[in-house]
Amino acid sequence: MLSANAPVGRVQPPRIARPTTLAISSLKRQLATTTTRRTMLSPGNPYSKNGSPPVPPDRDRYISEIQDLVNSMPAVFSHTPEEYYDCVSRWAARTEEGVEPPSLQLLRETGLDARMVHETACTIRQLNLDRAMSMHIWAAEAGHSPAIVTTMMLCINRPRLLQYSRIRAIETRFNTLVAQADNPDALAVAGFRRRKANDPKAAVRLLQRALAASKSAHFSLEEQARTALAKEYVSLGDEDAAVAVLEPIGADSGTGDREAVLGDILRSRDPEKAAPLLYYAACKGQRSLFAQLGDMELDKAEKASDEETRGEHMRWAEEWMRLSDERLVN
């Protein structure tokens, strides 16, 4: 049985009956149904207030989970995991009763600075998104630029927050950062927002400006910006530009986003190069791409000149389809 993390070459595909043209068509319909079903079954936000774990989190668990994160991003995190735990504990103790004093007052009372609060929020987003969001907001209100940018980025998928006056005030500060055109992260988030608003041309302009500004400033969102820009180039019909903008990221980006976009572009141009890219991205969590691999095998089956080769491609198609269905894998 094929594992999502196993090398393709070591796996023996399952045996099935001799395929027919009707069988290929049927399997394609199953692939489409599986992909649709996965979309419908996708969970919502796992960090809703009703499901959030208590804060502060367990000390040992918290420090263990963020150790690698802190060590891998020294340009972002300037303190130790123990110091971040102390910050979130002091913050939680001050706000546990739901009282929300003005940001600067809260910072004075806790003895923390805006940067420390923002960095701590970054470490707890996977543990408690609501708590992290509130900390980002307070740091943003205190004028910390990275917190302003992060708050607006988080609002992309939480647009209802923009109805609150506190967020609108932060948005005004964010727009000032964008207008200054020297903060690549702010320009990138502005581009992400235009993508969300289905304005590809404006998104491209902003993302291009972000990459230009990154030549003289730290750009923590560079990979996401390049991937988003590549997607917009594809939507505008310029696949060559998309490939060019993704090349500086390098192979095995870590998230699989680059590989997913490149694999989709190369699927019609060079299926042999596309397959390992799609496989990598699928193993990084984009399981729907297994269905694309299955579809590619079905295309090969239709073009096969003999029954043995056709059967081999059909067996692989069935295995990729199985892996794309999370209900069968997990």
Is the CB of residue 121 less than 8 Å from the CB of residue 154?
no
Per-residue pLDDT of the chain (330 residues; tens, 9 = 90+): 344 443 344 344 444 444 455 555 555 555 555 444 333 322 233 233 333 434 455 788 888 888 888 887 877 788 999 999 888 888 777 766 555 555 666 666 667 888 999 999 999 888 888 888 989 998 999 999 999 999 999 999 999 999 999 999 999 999 999 999 999 999 999 999 999 999 999 999 999 999 999 887 778 899 899 999 999 999 999 999 999 998 877 666 567 888 999 999 989 888 888 999 999 999 888 888 999 999 999 989 888 888 888 899 899 989 998 888 766 555
pTM above 0.95, yes or no: no
* Domain boundaries of the chain, sorted by first residue: 1-32+250-330, 54-180
Distance from the Cα of residue 275 to its chain's centroid: 21
* Amino acid symbol at 168: R
Distance from the Cα of residue 151 to its chain's centroid: 16
